[in-house]
Amino acid sequence: MNKGSKLAMGIAAISLLLVGCGKATSSTSSKESSAALSGKVTAVGSTALQPLAAKAGSNFTAKNSKVNLTVQGGGSGTGLSQVQAGAVSIGDSDIFAEEKDGIKADKLTDHKVAVVGMAPVVNKDTGIKNLKMAQLKQIFTGKITNWKEVGGKDEKIVIINRAQGSGTRATFENAVLKGTDAVKSQEQDSNGAVQKIVATTPGAVSYLAFSYFTNKLQAVSIDNVTPTDNNVETNKWKIWSYEHMYTKGTPDKATTAFLKYMDSKTVQDSLVKDMGYISIHDMKVTKDAKGVVTQN
């Protein structure tokens, strides 16, 4: 299944309005409908979480026809700042609120809804399938500039980074660069944009959530560890994050119901896995806001 073509969702300016279409067919149904869950829910932020949130939202509104649920991208920083400001119901984020400057984490409530693995990806013409962690760091800090230096094609390395404020970028840099600044390079606002550019640009390298992998690009192993769900679950693969849905204050009934649905077996046991994510209930480890990992 080509997940890429289905998962590229666009950036913050583009939203998916997900509205159920149920209709009462009798006086009894009308009474039930009038007492049904209703309201408006807006979720904004992480483009890594966006495909899952959008699909879950579509399924949720199909059963709750009076709920209007909108899912937008824009990046984790946008999601956190918007929910803190009270402008949206839910702020979607790949990072803990504590990791973002200007965010008062103690004023927000964290709802972890999934885990996403992230990995370096390259254009297939590079000839690269595995890198050492040290080599990956040298590439993104500008110390290695040609693929032949790491056993690949004699070709200039073209780095595609995510924009500042991206939770995917923060997760990648925390795991790989460990405080060292990335070299200046082209920046993109979404996983979907990165996916397309890396697949079509000779010599390109970037990083993506597992859910955006396609057969048009090459996911890269690190130190001979492959980027798989099983390796994320045990922390053998180090580049991963929780997918957070943050709320501020007491959520309304519609928002509360949607968050409960996100943690349901329907979502966690099937939809999450079908769309390339990892259920929070499958993790064998726990990671805190400081990046400390402990066994469950």
For residue 255, what is the domain's CATH number?
Answer: 3.40.190.10
34: pLDDT confidence band, cut at 50, 70 and 90?
A: very low
Give the model's pLDDT for residue 164: 87
Q: Are residues 67 and 138 in the same domain?
A: no
Residues 48 and 146 in one domain: no
User: DSSP 3-state assignment of 155?
Assistant: coil
Assess if residue 145 is contained within a domain: yes
Q: What angle do CA 274, 82, 278 make, to 5 degrees?
A: 20
Q: Are 57 and 42 in contact (CB under 8 A)?
A: no
Residue 134 lies in a domain: yes
> Do 161 and 76 belong together in one domain?
no
What pLDDT does 5 receive? 41
For residue 215, give its domain range: 117-234
The values of phi and psi at residue 268, to 5°, are: -70, -40
Beta strands 240-248 and 108-122 are antiparallel
pLDDT > 60? residue 22: no
**247 and 112 co-located in one domain:** yes
* Element holding 274 (H helix, E strand): helix 272-274
Please check whether residues 133 and 230 belong to one and the same domain: yes
Residues 177, 206: one domain? yes
pLDDT band at 29 (very low <50, low <70, confident <90, very high): very low
Residues 99 and 159 in one domain: no
Report the alpha-carbon distance of residue 237 to residue 118 in Å, rounded. 9
pLDDT of residue 35: 52
Mark out the alpha helices in 22-165 (DSSP H runs): 27-34, 50-63, 76-84, 133-140
Cβ atoms within 10 Å, residue 58: 15
**Does residue 73 sit within a domain?**
yes
Q: Identify which of 287, 248, 291 has the alpha carbon closest to the alpha carbon of residue 104.
A: 248
- Residue at 21 is within a domain: no
Percent of the chain clearing pLDDT 90 (strictly above): 85
Instruction: For 211-247, write each residue's pLDDT tens digit.
Output: 899 999 999 999 999 999 999 999 999 999 999 999 9
* Residue 195 located in a structural domain: yes
d(CA 166, CA 194) in angstroms, rounded, equals 12
Residue 29 lies in a domain: no
Give per-residue pLDDT as tens, 232-291. 999 999 999 999 999 999 999 999 999 999 999 999 999 999 999 999 999 999 999 999
Q: Are residues 111 and 246 in the same domain?
A: yes
Q: Which pLDDT score is estimated for 165?
A: 83
Instruction: Give the per-residue pLDDT at 187.
Output: 96
62 and 163 together in one domain: no
Domain boundary among 185, 211, 234: 234
Q: Which of these three, 234, 263, 282, is where a domain ends?
A: 234
What are the angstrom distances between the C-alpha of 241 and each of 2, 13, 75, 229? 23, 25, 14, 12
In this structure, are 171 and 189 located in the same domain?
yes
Question: Is residue 22 a part of any domain in this protein?
Answer: no
88-142 pLDDT, tens digit per residue, is 999 999 999 999 999 999 999 999 999 999 999 999 999 999 999 999 999 999 9
pTM, two decimals, is 0.83
Structure-block tokens of residue 213: 């992998």
Both 138 and 217 in one domain: the answer is yes
Domain boundary among 187, 211, 234: 234
pLDDT at res. 103: 98
For residue 197, tell me if it sits in a domain: yes
Tally of domains in the chain: 2
CA dihedral 185, 188, 191, 194 (to 10 degrees): -60
Instruction: For residues 53 and 196, state if they share a domain.
Output: no
